[in-house]
Amino acid sequence: MSTPPEAAEPPAALDAPRAGTPHGPDPAKVRAAVRGGTLAYFVDQFDIYLPIVVLAPATMYFQAANLSAATTALLSSLVFASTLIGRPLGAVIFGHFADTVGRKRTTLVAVGGFGTITLLTACLPGHETIGMWSVGVLIALRFLDGIFLGGEYTTAVPLAMEWSPKHKRGLYASIITSTSPAAYAVIAAITLLLLQLLPSAGLHSAYVQWGWRIPFIVGALLAAVLFRYYLTQVHEPPAELTGEKHKLPFVRLLVRYPKALAQVFVLMTGTWLATNMEAAVTPAQLKAHLELSSKQITLIMLVINASAALSYPLFGMLSQRIGRRRFYIGYGLSVSVLGAGAYTLLMVSHSGFGAALGWAVLIGVFTVGTFGPIAAYLTERFPASIRSTGYGVGYSLALIAPAFYQFYLQQLDGLMAPHLAPAVLIVLAGLLISLGGFLGPETKDVDMADDRTIPALS
């Protein structure tokens, strides 16, 4: 397989210490930035997955009892999709300020915003009080939340990667992104505990009326902790790492680097499609097809995401060894074969709850592992002057099409059983990941302080 011209070996100067840092980056500042990025990603993903896990047993609180199952599923998917749709807008807005004003200050605004929105969500009245306005306001708040969340990772992750030494970017990136499935697992564990302590047997049960609010309050408190950490511990990266300032970084991204953005879009479309099948569709099918209880579903999803979290550092180090490009080509094929196969076997197997947990491990490892080195890859892919914008837009823009997964699944209803249709989309997701990796250059050796070595410039 030939290597694209833009993947040519970078100059030997890559290994020289960065300008202004004769002995390399300050280790204390590196640790602070990586810890901040890790905490930021965890809080971001905790907030993202709250409605999927926490609100699933409390759907009746926001919706009328006489709605059809299809309408209920559609409204539930819109609650999740509204957050995802808001994220690209947040990436453009906050990426602009991160590239023109500063990474740290922009992160503080984004964190304060989504923390406030999460707290407001915890205070929402239900359908009995304000009718359909309840679910409407919930969807609107989640859209606003998505804007601030899109801004948070657009600023925090590039900041962490810019402080990281080149030879450890794959590892540090995977540590940061492993907090995504870890956050899902933590939410699942909290929800499992709440369902154990609080009944969820009807509209007026304790969990449905107020128990679901507890994880949202926890999310708001985590945002407050994150805000304080960035305010007191994290530093702006050196000027040579953030590049020359441009007034309109988003326009510059579209005009100067459309090929890089298009390639990342293909890769991330597959990534998000696989993620939605794992995070949003799998629990719904466990309930609808396998007829598992809320507790069993929550435990299976906990195992899926704990397995994914443990695999991320391995994938990050693997990409550092063999290269990001080779990793994504190979991992995409694994998603199409192993990820889709494990999901299918889970759905057709009726060997009991223990066997379901076994298939869950494979689903966790071979559906969402693309995220392992993604923080490193996307920040390496764009030059310093537009890095936050490029990372944020590249990461988020591809969210939109996969967010409407429910409509795609409905189109497959006449062709196959509903519980098998997600496997088709997992196969498609894997092929897109491989294609995206193939179309892109190798990036693991670029010097992020030197725009001449960034593959996007070719």
Locate the domains of the chain by residue range. 25-457
Environment class of 69 (CB within 10 Å of its CB; exposed 0-12, middle 13-18, buried 19+) = exposed
The whole-number pLDDT of residue 239 equals 60
- At CA 183, angle to CA 365 and CA 315, rounded to 5? 30
- Work out the angle between the directed axes of helices 258-276 and 387-397 (0-180°, nearest 10): 40
The whole-number pLDDT of residue 453 equals 64
Please state, in angstroms and rounded to a whole number, the distance separating the CA atoms of residues 207 and 197. Answer: 9
**Helix (H) and strand (E) counts for the chain?**
23, 0
Per-residue pLDDT of the chain (458 residues; tens, 9 = 90+): 444 444 433 333 333 344 334 345 678 888 888 888 899 889 988 988 888 888 888 888 888 777 777 777 777 778 878 888 888 899 889 888 888 888 888 889 999 999 999 999 999 998 888 888 988 999 999 999 999 988 887 888 888 898 888 899 999 999 999 998 888 888 888 988 998 888 777 788 888 889 999 999 999 999 999 999 989 988 776 665 555 666 788 899 999 999 999 999 999 999 999 999 998 899 888 888 888 887 888 889 889 989 999 999 999 999 999 999 999 999 999 999 999 999 999 998 876 788 889 999 999 999 999 999 999 999 999 988 888 889 988 988 898 889 888 889 989 988 898 889 999 999 999 999 999 999 999 999 988 776 666 776 54
Question: pLDDT for 290-346, tens place per residue?
Answer: 888 878 888 898 899 899 999 999 999 999 999 999 999 999 999 999 999 999 999
The whole-number pLDDT of residue 25 equals 62
- At CA 62, angle to CA 57 and CA 66, rounded to 5? 90
End-to-end Cα spacing for the chain: 20
Give the Cβ contact number of residue 188 at 10 Å. 25
Which residue type does 226 have?
L
Calculate the alpha carbon distances from 375 to 16, 113, 172, 379 in Å: 23, 23, 9, 6
Q: Which residue has the tokens 């997701």?
A: 429
Strands (E), 296-455: none
Q: Which residue has the tokens 């696989």?
A: 274
Pick the CATH number of 25-457 from 1.10.3720.10, 3.40.50.300, 1.20.1250.20, 1.10.287.3240: 1.20.1250.20
The whole-number pLDDT of residue 64 equals 77
The whole-number pLDDT of residue 129 equals 87
pTM for the structure as a whole = 0.78
Alpha carbon 176 to its chain centroid, in Å, reads 11
The whole-number pLDDT of residue 72 equals 74
Calculate the alpha carbon distances from 211 to 116, 242, 380, 414 in Å: 19, 44, 43, 39
